[in-house]
Amino acid sequence: MTEARPAASPPVSARARPGGTGGAGAAGLGARLRSGAGRVLGALTTPLLPDDYLDVLAPLRSGAALRGRIEHVVAETADAATIVIQPGRGWLGHEPGQYVRLGVDVDGVRLWRAYSLTSGPRADGRVAITVKAIPGGRVSTHLVHAARPGTLVQMDQATGDFLLPRAVPPRLLFVTAGSGITPVMGMLRNRLDQMRDVVVVHSAPTPAEVIFGSDLRDLAAAGLLRLVERHTDTDGVLGPADLARLVPDWDLRQTWACGPIAMLDDLETHWAVAGVEARLHTERFRPRIVATGEGGSVSFSRSGISADADGATPLLDVGEGAGVLMRSGCRMGICYGCVVPLESGAVRDLRTGVVSTGEPGDGIQVQACVTAAAGPCEIGA
């Protein structure tokens, strides 16, 4: 096929000369060369893409999927640690009290969990989460006891509305238990200078198991807050009725509470009975247990169709075989046309073997042409 030529040639001064930098002609040649180079690189790296290799060389670069690199792991208690992370260049920052979802690879399975950010804006751009290892918790146990500097994790942008208002109320109460202290510590570290009257009621089994125990006690000793520790091994479980004794004006304070679900349920009932439910703000994290395996039932949520799949057939083929209209440009060499949301369940990347799990709200996107079921899953198609 021949190119169509313009009716008149451009002036000599605007045309590329042999060996010169040229004008539009050189720019077009450069674009064609770059395009050709891209096609050559794509052919050489198939089934991977050139970006997959850039991910290895510069995983935190601008434009890449958001990742973070673990820089430090600092023990807080025997079963809790602070993880300091350098986010990639796409990180948009956070406000004290928000949380971040992390995708962590544990034994070849990518698991997503949400953790409160316990640091404020830092000059080095790093952020911190503080994790308490829980029995049977694969991700929390891995992060506390096995994570090492240099490890890469996947990241979402910070989110959450467990926040202090711009104008800090004159009297504050924080009621926390276990790792529920983590979002509150983020608030105290960043906005304590704006707080005039602060009470922190924290519950943990023993004094040694109080996360940030030394930090909290130092703040109390300096007169910056009043700290009430409840050690459940000796004092019993903290209940709403205890607050009338521990904090007599509890019902007049704006309160932020974070901890076990049962504790939060009791607090919400107590505040509602007193008619001051508007003064209580709670933070809840939902547990995530996702079955994984070789293949499983695939539900296509938009089409209302389900199909059984083995662990080797791409979701694109599973959907088309079941009569689902799947978007794709894969067979025409157009990559990423088949990307669909993983709404819940587990899938495996056929190129790398990595298993990803997700639940509604995680925002995980997968390529249907190179991803297979790794257990029951629901796909947005």
Quick one: which of 340, 337, 331 has its CA closest to 302? 340
pLDDT at 167: 95
pLDDT at 316: 93
Q: Which of 283, 307, 335 represents a domain boundary (last residue)?
A: 283
Instruction: Dump the DSSP string for 306-373.
Output: EEEE-SSS-HHHHHHHTT-----BGGGTBTTTTEEEEEEEEEEETTT--EEEE-TTS-EEEETTSEEE
Average pLDDT rounded to a whole number, residues 129-158:
92
Average pLDDT rounded to a whole number, residues 255-270:
93
- The sign of the torsion formed by the CA atoms of 86, 88, 55, 152 equals positive
C-beta of residue 358 within 8 angstroms of C-beta of residue 364:
yes
Q: Which domain does 198 fall in, by range?
A: 171-283
Q: Residue 274: helix, strand or coil by DSSP?
A: coil
Q: What is the CATH number of the domain that holds 128?
A: 2.40.30.10
Q: Which of 283, 312, 340 represents a domain boundary (last residue)?
A: 283
83-103 residue pLDDT tens: 999 999 899 999 999 999 898
Whether 346 has a pLDDT exceeding 80, the answer reads yes
| Percent over 90 (pLDDT), the chain | 56
Does 52 or 97 have the greater pLDDT score?
Answer: 97
Whether 32 has a pLDDT exceeding 90, the answer reads no
Q: What is the CATH number of the domain that holds 361?
A: 3.10.20.30
pLDDT at 109: 78
Average pLDDT rounded to a whole number, residues 167-186:
96
Q: What is the pLDDT of the chain when averaged over all its residues?
A: 83
Q: Is residue 10 part of a domain?
A: no
pTM of the entire predicted model: 0.64
pLDDT at 114: 87
pLDDT class for 244, splitting at 50, 70, 90? confident
204 and 240 co-located in one domain: yes
pLDDT class for 134, splitting at 50, 70, 90? confident
279 and 301 co-located in one domain: no
Q: Is residue 21 part of a domain?
A: no
Whether 301 has a pLDDT exceeding 80, the answer reads yes
Distance CA 233, CA 203 (A): 10
pLDDT at 53: 44
Distance CA 377, CA 284 (A): 24
Q: Is residue 212 part of a domain?
A: yes
Q: Is residue 61 part of a domain?
A: no
Q: Is residue 12 part of a domain?
A: no
pLDDT at 142: 95
Q: Is residue 30 part of a domain?
A: no
160 DSSP 8-state letter: -
Q: Which of 129, 155, 181 represents a domain boundary (last residue)?
A: 155
φ, ψ for residue 255, nearest 5 deg: -120, 135
Range scoring the smallest mean pLDDT among 12-16, 18-22, 114-118, 200-204 = 12-16
Q: Is residue 330 part of a domain?
A: yes
272 and 220 co-located in one domain: yes
Average pLDDT rounded to a whole number, residues 101-121:
86
pLDDT at 186: 94
pLDDT at 17: 35
| Percent over 70 (pLDDT), the chain | 79
pLDDT at 144: 96
Whether 44 has a pLDDT exceeding 80, the answer reads no
133 and 212 co-located in one domain: no
Whether 291 has a pLDDT exceeding 70, the answer reads no
Tally of domains in the chain: 3
Average pLDDT rounded to a whole number, residues 365-381:
91
φ, ψ for residue 132, nearest 5 deg: -105, 125
Q: Is residue 140 part of a domain?
A: yes
